[in-house]
């Protein structure tokens, strides 16, 4: 009975219908912007540049990719995180900093509360991420039919992981982008001048790059001290955990503790940033 009452109170505070309305508005509002579509070209453009100019014609690409497959997967994940961060961070910053500047947004504030606004904005950005991934999967599937290297890479990746590995990697990616979106939102709450937004978000980019650099330093060389140190640093922790999966390391205890700890920290940080957002909304 106590659990049921608590759940009802929670569902009352989080109105899923209002949350979804705001998320859909955020999604539709941004997907119509040319800045989104130009940003969406970043990952594909970098991949084309690597394939076209980064690999010598004399190099056997199959040997290059598959000679150290875990390293290839680790580098690919780091590039994926960095490039999609370049796409999502400005969108999240604009949504949080400028969410009461239009008549439509004023209407959303009338029909919803600040916690719905905050959660809905972040959920809408996640919708954009899912849509972007869907477009890339479709494009990648099409290219697989014409490129033997991509087909071999996809086939090898599919057979490389067991089911629980796939689930864990999806959870780690959600945690990574959850941390990135919350860090961006936290900074954007305090920005009053839109022209200062990009400069203010620079620490988020720097933190992501440092996390990726540290993961490259430990690439394939893990120790108990490094693993325990990574536990307290979000993003780096998820990348290290992913590398353990890529290298098929039997560190189940660390993966379990890291995933649970980072989930607790992420939920706690979400609550803190949401409270900051509510206070800022009241002051405005």
The mean per-residue pLDDT over the stretch 68-84 comes to: 82
Q: Is 277 exposed, middle or buried (0-12, 13-18, 19+ CB in 10 A)?
A: buried
End-to-end CA distance of the chain: give it in Å, rounded: 40
Would you state the pLDDT for residue 7?
A: 43
- Position 44 scores a pLDDT of 67
Phi, psi of 192 (to 5 degrees): -105, -20
Contacts for 189-195: CB closer than 8 Å, 24+ residues apart: 189/96, 189/97, 189/273, 189/276, 189/277, 189/280, 190/280, 191/93, 191/97, 194/97, 194/98
What average pLDDT does range 182-197 have in this prediction?
84
Cα gap 266→263, rounded to integer Å: 5
- Compute the half-sphere exposure of residue 266: CA atoms within 13 Å on the CB side of its CA: 22
Cα–Cα dist 200/179, whole Å: 17
Task: Answer with the residue of higher pLDDT: 58 or 41.
Answer: 41
191 DSSP 8-state letter: -
Query: For residue 191, which of 206, 202, 178 has the smallest C-alpha distance?
Result: 202
pTM of the model: 0.80
Model confidence over 144-153: pLDDT tens digits?
677 666 677 6
Closest CA relative to residue 227, chosen from 253, 264, 260, 263: 253
Taking residues 206-233, what's their average pLDDT?
Answer: 83
Q: What is the predicted pLDDT for the residue at 204? A: 92
Q: What is the DSSP letter of 145?
A: T
pLDDT band at residue 86 under the 50/70/90 scheme: confident
pLDDT band at 9 (very low <50, low <70, confident <90, very high): very low
194: left (phi over 0), alpha (psi -120 to 50) or beta: alpha
In the predicted model, is pLDDT for residue 121 greater than 50? yes
């Amino acid at each position: 009975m106590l659990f049921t009452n608590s759940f009802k109170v929670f569902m009352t505070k989080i109105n899923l219908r209002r949350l979804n309305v705001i998320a859909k508005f955020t999604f539709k509002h941004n997907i119509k912007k040319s800045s989104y579509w130009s940003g969406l070209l970043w990952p594909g453009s970098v991949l084309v540049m690597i394939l076209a100019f980064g690999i010598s014609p004399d190099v056997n690409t199959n040997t290059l990719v598959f000679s150290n497959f875990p390293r290839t997967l680790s580098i690919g994940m780091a590039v994926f995180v960095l490039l999609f961060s370049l796409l999502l961070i400005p969108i999240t910053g604009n949504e949080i900093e400028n969410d009461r500047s239009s008549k439509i947004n004023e209407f959303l504030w009338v029909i919803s509360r600040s916690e719905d606004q905050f959660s809905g904005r972040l959920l809408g950005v996640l919708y954009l991420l899912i849509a972007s991934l869907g477009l890339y999967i479709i494009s990648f599937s099409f290219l697989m039919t014409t490129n033997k290297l991509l087909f071999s890479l996809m086939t090898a990746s599919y057979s490389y992981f067991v089911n629980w590995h796939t689930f864990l990697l999806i959870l780690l990616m959600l945690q990574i982008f959850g941390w990135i979106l919350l860090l961006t939102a936290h900074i954007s709450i305090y920005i009053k001048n839109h022209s200062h937004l990009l400069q203010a978000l620079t620490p988020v980019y720097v933190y992501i790059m440092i996390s990726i650099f540290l993961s490259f330093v430990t690439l394939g060389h893990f120790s108990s001290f490094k693993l325990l140190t990574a536990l307290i640093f979000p993003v780096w922790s998820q990348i290290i955990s992913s590398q353990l999966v890529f290298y098929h390391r039997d560190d189940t205890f660390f993966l379990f503790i890291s995933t649970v700890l980072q989930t607790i920290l992420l939920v706690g940080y979400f609550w803190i940033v949401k409270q900051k957002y509510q206070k800022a909304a009241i002051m405005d």
